[in-house]
């Protein structure tokens, strides 16, 4: 059997998604997730968002602002712990700080990076 015929192992996983202000919180959390949990299956992208609690006029959306969408794939057994960690680290208990949710993935392949490729304070 060649390596091409070897199935890639899959683990039960969850996807944690979080919308937060574009203030560097995402970078700080991604670095902490790597250091404290060994998580490297994560991303953060810029997008436009708007706060529904701001003074929107009837029939009009409030002005949009730049936000970050951070997504983290975690093994199912650590999902609740990581979810709570992100919630506290992003201070989502404060009004206007953002929102987050968790969804099931059909599966997720284990992933590892060489030590030189991991996040550092310089990135």
pLDDT of residue 71: 97
pLDDT greater than 90 at residue 68: yes
Contact 73, 79 (CB under 8 A): no
Q: What are the extents of the domains in the chain? A: 10-50+61-107
pLDDT of residue 95: 84
pLDDT of residue 122: 47
d(C-alpha 59, C-alpha 80), whole Å: 38
pLDDT greater than 70 at residue 100: yes
pLDDT of residue 33: 95
Which residues are CB-contacts of 11 (< 8 A; sequence separation ≥ 6)? 75, 76, 107, 108, 109, 110
pLDDT of residue 117: 57
Pick the CATH number of 10-50+61-107 from 1.10.10.10, 3.30.565.10, 3.90.650.10, 3.30.70.120: 3.30.70.120
User: How does pLDDT run across 1-58, given as a tens digit for each residue?
Assistant: 555 666 666 678 899 999 999 999 999 999 999 999 988 889 999 998 877 666 667 7
pLDDT of residue 27: 95
What is the SS3 assignment for 32?
A: helix
């Amino acid at each position: 059997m060649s390596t091409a015929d070897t199935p890639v192992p899959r683990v039960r996983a969850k996807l944690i998604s979080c919308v937060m202000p574009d203030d560097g919180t995402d970078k700080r959390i991604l670095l902490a997730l790597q250091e404290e949990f060994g998580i490297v299956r994560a991303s953060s992208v810029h997008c436009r968002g708007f706060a529904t609690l701001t003074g929107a006029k009837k029939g009009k959306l409030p002005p949009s602002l730049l936000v970050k969408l951070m997504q983290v794939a975690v093994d199912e057994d650590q999902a609740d712990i990581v979810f709570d960690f992100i919630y506290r680290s992003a201070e989502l208990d404060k009004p206007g700080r953002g929102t987050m949710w968790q969804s099931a993935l059909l599966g997720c392949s284990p992933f590892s990076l060489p030590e030189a490729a991991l996040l550092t304070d310089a990135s």
